Amino acid sequence: MVQPMVNIFETTNLIENELVALHESVSFKFNAVVEEFITILRSSDSLVFVPCSMGKDSSTVLNAASEAYRVCIQNGWIEKTRPLIVSTVDTLSESLPMVMYTRWVKSKFIDYAKDNDINVYYDIVTPSFHEEYANKYLTSNKLIPNAQRNSDCSSILKIVPSERYLKNLLDRFKSDEELQQYTRFDVICATGQRNNESTKRKGNMVIQGTSDKSISDLLKEMKESDLNTGYPLFLYAPIRDWSTQEVFTSLELSGAKPLTRSLAGLPPLPGFLSDFALLLAIYGNASSDVCEIAVGQKNSNGCNGSSRFGCTLCTMVQHDKTQNSLAKHTRWKVFLQEEVLRMRISVIAIARFGLFRSPDPAVFLSSYFYSK
């Protein structure tokens, strides 16, 4: 029986058409998010706060927010002194690639902001000494979190430090004659949270566009924070309806010299880096996600293992595929990546059996097979 021949040219054309449609859709969605930020900045007394892990999602949000500031300042729609606040939380237990990458990319973003007259306040913040992972969880101060236990690790290690940073910064503005006016502004906390399984929000901004949408309409779609900062703070997730593929494609198309040329013939998307090849390479090494936690929601129960490019000692999952993937690369082995994994196995044992009266067979076998 003769097998039917596959028309490779037809298949190639089909794939190319799908990529063209994807590039066109991503460009449209990104520009719609930029327009949303512009609407927020122009229509009300608001400033933007981006809690940015510098992972793929929060980097996409920061690209859009900084582009909105650039456009507004260039056109004289807002004053040059309007702050763009950015914070990156280092839990002091972060994945090694992200520890190194965030330090490098911070200086790049600050240079970009200066070149475009954006008044950026960007700091890498850490938990207080008594809140650090080792002092909280390895000293019997709190139970080590696991998937079966209601964990507050993300609140302690990520949310509280960001809350403290924002409050202290706005308190500093009060004593600055030029900046004290911004203490009365609404703070829009823009996060990279996404939820592909949720029902599309009513009046989807991407489909409807934002030119006719007032700031009151936008604020109605935002959830007011339950944090006690003493300042009005609203939560905003501009890419929550995006797919993972769309986020990665956005980064490929972003920057002055993007990694990928738009097959739809559209110009590159704005970006604070000339390209995002390094970030995409890090994801390629690890094949996973960054732990995205919403600043402004203290009742968060942790990432529950859904995103595991975060803490190296994360005990919310039994097997951390991200950290195991990194350990296969010599470039991370020399930074003791394997030793960190062995320590994590011991911490998991304690998390599952607090008294650790007997060996945990599951952990013992994991350690045995990993060593092989």
CATH number for the domain harbouring residue 274? 3.40.50
Q: What is the pLDDT of residues 218-264, one digit of tens each?
A: 666 665 555 555 677 888 888 988 998 999 999 999 999 999 998 88
> Which residue range forms the structural domain that includes residue 253?
8-143+151-303
Q: Is residue 364 part of a domain?
A: no
pLDDT tens per residue across span 114-165:
999 999 999 999 998 888 888 888 777 787 777 776 677 878 888 889 989 9
Is residue 80 within 8 A of residue 117, CB to CB? The reply is yes
Q: What is the mean pLDDT of the chain?
A: 78
State how far the alpha carbon of 69 is from the alpha carbons of 77, 118, 321, 328, in Å: 9, 7, 38, 41
Please give the average per-residue pLDDT across 19-42, as a whole number: 93
**What is the C-alpha to C-alpha distance for residues 7 and 161, in angstroms, rounded to an integer?**
57
Compute the residue count for the chain: 372
**137, 145 in Cβ contact below 8 A?**
yes
**337 pLDDT exceeds 80?**
no
Mean pLDDT of 194-206: 45
* Weakest-pLDDT range from 18-27, 79-88, 175-184, 233-242: 233-242
pLDDT at 48 over 50: yes
**Is residue 337, in this structure, part of any structural domain at all?**
no
- Is the sign of the CA dihedral 12, 15, 19, 21 positive or negative? positive
pLDDT band at 25 (very low <50, low <70, confident <90, very high): very high
Please tell me the pTM assigned to this model.
0.79
Structurally, how many domains does the chain consist of? 1
Residue 341 lies inside a defined structural domain of this protein: no
Contact 190, 50 (CB under 8 A): yes
Residues linked to residue 187 through DSSP beta bridges, in sequence order: 47, 233
